Amino acid sequence: MNSKYDVCIAGGGVAGCAAAIAAARNGAKTFLIEECGYLGGSLTLCGVGPMMTYFAGKNQIIKGIGEEIVSRLISKNGSCGHIKDTTGYVSYTTPFSSEILKLVLDEMMEEENVQVLFHTSVAKAFYEEGKIREIIVSNCDGISKIQGKIFIDATGDGDLAAMSGVLMTKGRKIDGQMQPMTMNVKYSNINIEKLKSYILEHIEEFPRLTGKEELIRSSEPMAVAGFSKQIKDAINRNELSIPREELLFFETNIPGEVIVNTTRVIGLDPTNAFDLTKAEQIGRKQCFELDRFLHNEIPGFEKAIMEYTGPKIGARSSRQLVGVYTLTAEDILSHRSFSTKICLSAYPIDIHNPSGAGTESAFLSDPNYSYELPYEILYSDKMDNMLVAGRCVSASFEAQAAIRTTPTVFALGQAAGTAAALCALQNKKVSEIDIRELQEKLMEQDVIL
């Protein structure tokens, strides 16, 4: 299998899928490599949900391919669409079915004639004079060479970028520690009405929900952040080893089914195979500790059925590209304008403590504000034909904590795929792109700038 493509993408997660669809729609012969047997990345592999957030307050600021996928999910009863966030953290979230999402993404790849190759990993990149010449991929057929004009790293961990020799960073500046990993766990058979009744009768235990009683009564699906006292007491009784300050879970689009996002594995590196293995083991152990806790302590979970853990532990942060520009927390909080903007976002800075319990958040001064992401965070000046998309773009530790979530990553992927197609078809370096042409293409394809 020795092949040549206009655009080659490593990683079939949220960013990679958006990049592949965008590249193909803009005329590029596109190749997408994914190590699992399905697309969707953390949404289908790590039990992540819901998508949050496409909105800045009441205003939708992310559309494009990400919104198209939501519409397709709705048409297949795979999502209820955008709903108000009962945790109070953002304005709207988007529950979905991970199984239907797999099908939607398969269908979109087929429609756009994207060549997808599952069960395949990038093993090596051959590069010289600032250009990737080819990559070696590994799968059940053995090893094969793939050539491309433009390559996109959408692996999440920046695997291809690291192989190509460009400068990368990891973790926070003071000590290199990364945000903790989380093994999500999905449950069915939750008595949501009993849960709501408890919350309404003990609203003082849920500070974020005070004054939102009517939203709690009417919300379908439901999201909960709280039960802090119960968590603390269980930790003090040595029943939980999870360094977490509260219980967090989200009902999916299926009534009575929830994703529990509460485990926390600290001090391990998701780009180290031994650390990642240990994290998976610790994460599963924490899930079963949590299972006992939920059944015994949380109203509505008495007859809950654990459907699955993971199946893979989720990493919030790992490698970051050192790009032509590095996005900072100040850029986000001051909602700085960029002439080279490629998408908007509004998710706050959301740092899960790398050292233990606690979550540090920094919100924009007005919930209706958004911030801009510039094209220069997608590439290094050391590599002429590679773009990076997703959570491993060029951003400080703090800024990355804001731009790592699904809708933003969809938008970054669409921008990268569109740019890659333009560069491939015009025989340009990624640094030579006509930014106005890119912006016009994105807006033509329903991206909000």
pLDDT digits (tens, 9 = 90+) for 310-347: 999 999 999 999 999 999 999 999 999 999 999 999 99
pLDDT reported for residue 1: 61
pLDDT digits (tens, 9 = 90+) for 111-158: 999 999 999 999 999 999 999 999 999 999 999 999 999 999 999 999
User: What region does 211 belong to: left with phi over 0, alpha with psi -120 to 50, or beta?
Assistant: left
Identify whether the C-beta of residue 173 lies closer than 8 Å to the C-beta of residue 397.
Answer: yes
Long-range interactions of 446-449: CB distance < 8 A, separation 24+: 446/63, 446/64, 446/67, 446/68, 447/63, 447/64, 447/342, 447/343, 447/411, 447/414, 447/415, 448/60, 448/61, 448/62, 448/63, 448/64, 448/343, 448/344, 449/341, 449/342, 449/343, 449/344
Percent pLDDT > 70 in the chain is 100
Identify whether the C-beta of residue 30 lies closer than 8 Å to the C-beta of residue 146.
Answer: no
Out of 69-78, 86-95, 202-211, 336-345, least confident range: 202-211
pLDDT at 29 > cutoff 80: yes
The Cα–Cα gap between 404 and 393 comes to 9
Higher pLDDT, 8 or 253: 8
- The reported pTM is 0.97
The Cα–Cα gap between 244 and 333 comes to 26
**Residue ranges of domains in the chain:** 3-81+95-172+319-348+358-444, 185-309
pLDDT reported for residue 28: 98
Q: Which CATH class is domain 3-81+95-172+319-348+358-444?
A: alpha beta
pLDDT at 2 > cutoff 90: no
| Span 410-415, average pLDDT | 99
pLDDT digits (tens, 9 = 90+) for 267-321: 999 999 999 999 999 999 999 999 999 999 999 999 999 999 999 999 999 999 9
pLDDT band at 219 (very low <50, low <70, confident <90, very high): confident
Outline where 26-97 has alpha helix (H).
Answer: 42-45, 64-75
pLDDT band at 218 (very low <50, low <70, confident <90, very high): confident
pLDDT reported for residue 408: 99
